[in-house]
Amino acid sequence: MAIILPTIYYSRKPSPPNASPSPPLRKPLSFLVVLHTLYVLYTLLLKYPPNLFKVLDIPLTTPSDNIRILLKRYAGGGELPPALDALLTRLSSFDARTLYVRLGQSVIESCDYCHTPSEYALHALPNPLLEYLREAAVVGLVTIQGSFRERWRKWGVGVLVATAVLEAYWILTVEIRIPRSGKGVTMWHDLFWTIRYLIFLVLVPVLHILPSRPPVPSPLASLHTVAASIEQSIYGLRLFSATHAAIMRVPETRAAQVEHFARERQEGRWAREDPDVQRRAEVLGLGYAEEEGRLRASARAAVQALQNGFSGNRT
């Protein structure tokens, strides 16, 4: 419930108007992350690797016959399963007990044809390898294209590869120290199994909540809009040119145009000669009272740039 309820809340929570675009696969991937987290928690809590010595709380050096007697006592005097009986027979060897610490009880118990450490190691390889491959597949799904977290995929896979290499190297090379009492032995297989699943538990949710990066749109995507705007501008210029020519051909409209611009010129002169307007323009940084004010200089530079651009296009 502690995982499902927050997920439902955030999946239904409306996004603010100015929020970045939401990944299209956000909800399906959130559901996948919840299922994965529940599965890993279930495995951690209920599928812990079997370990006779931890369950019975006995030293690692306990003779196999004594372990068999304890197990029969727990079983009510009945016969032990054949696989468990075969395991106790193999544990008569000290080398088998060191392999038990390295590789776990399931490997020693299930491999009937194994006799050397290399054979046991090869028999132990598929299970953790498949678990890491499964986790890499989940990481790939969580960072799939459309999740906006594609850039985190290499980091997630890198963490898995580094963990797998460290686990394999440590398991195969660590020195197994068994004290005389047989107590307090570090069960390396069980320890690294726990570390592995804790990383599985944390890695996928972390990748899912890391900052996303929406894909940058291609410049070609806006090409159609730019072309349409340019086309509209060209049509507007053509319409202006045709309208101006039509106005100049008719005496009445030509006279009205001349009168209109003469009136605007007079109004502009009145505004420029007004001391109050000049003073306000100076305050705004648009002074024009002097011979070459800022406004006039800016207008002159803009006209010069347009002339240069037009001349360059003509050439």
Instruction: Give residue limits of the domains in the chain.
Output: 25-209, 246-314
Cα 26 to Cα 15, 33, 201, 206, 230: the distances in Å are 13, 10, 19, 14, 38
| Cβ atoms within 10 Å, residue 238 | 10
d(CA 248, CA 108): 103
Of the candidates 155, 188, 193, the one whose C-alpha atom is nearest the C-alpha of residue 173 is 188
Q: Encoding tokens for residue 86?
A: 């075969």
Pinpoint the alpha helices (H) of the chain. 4-12, 26-46, 52-56, 64-74, 82-90, 94-103, 105-110, 117-124, 126-142, 153-173, 188-209, 223-249, 251-273, 275-283, 294-314
DSSP for 238-263, please give it.
Answer: HHHHHHHHHHHHSHHHHHHHHHHHHH
pLDDT at 269 (0 to 100): 79
Per-residue pLDDT of the chain (315 residues; tens, 9 = 90+): 444 444 444 445 454 444 455 667 788 889 999 999 999 999 999 999 999 999 999 999 999 999 999 988 887 777 888 889 999 999 999 999 999 999 999 999 999 899 999 999 999 999 999 999 999 999 999 998 878 788 899 999 999 999 999 999 999 999 999 888 888 899 999 999 999 999 999 999 999 998 877 666 666 667 778 788 888 888 887 887 788 777 778 888 888 888 888 888 888 777 777 778 777 777 776 665 555 556 667 767 777 776 776 665 555
Q: Encoding tokens for residue 190?
A: 């069980």
Q: Tell me whether residue 167 is exposed, middle or buried, using C-beta atoms within 10 angstroms of its C-beta: 0 to 12, 13 to 18, 19 or more.
A: buried
pLDDT at 3 (0 to 100): 45
Task: Give CA angle at 302 (297, 304), nearest 5°.
Answer: 95
DSSP for 275-299, please give it.
Answer: HHHHHHHHHTT---SSTT-HHHHHH
pTM of the predicted structure, to 2 decimals = 0.65
